Structure 1
C-alpha cells in the first residue's frame, strides 16, 4: 500500500492534532497521527 505523509512544525501539538482531525474528515482513507520523540 502507498502512504502519504504530512509533516507540520512550529505549532503546538494540540493545535496540530485538531487541524489534522478536521482534515481527516475530508480524506477518503484512514488516518493516523504520529509524533516524533524530541531530542
Structure 2
C-alpha cells in the first residue's frame, strides 16, 4: 500500500465519519426541540 492509497483511505474515513455525525445530529435536534415544547406547555 503506497502513501497515496493510505492518504485517500484516511480522507474517506474522515468524510464518512463527519457525515455520520451530521445525520446523528439531525436526528437528535428535532427531539430536543420537541422536549422544550413539552416543558413550555407544562
**TM-score, L = length of structure 2:** 0.38
Which of 1 and 2 has higher RCO (CA within 8 Å, sep 6+)? 1
Highest Rg: 1 or 2?
A: 2
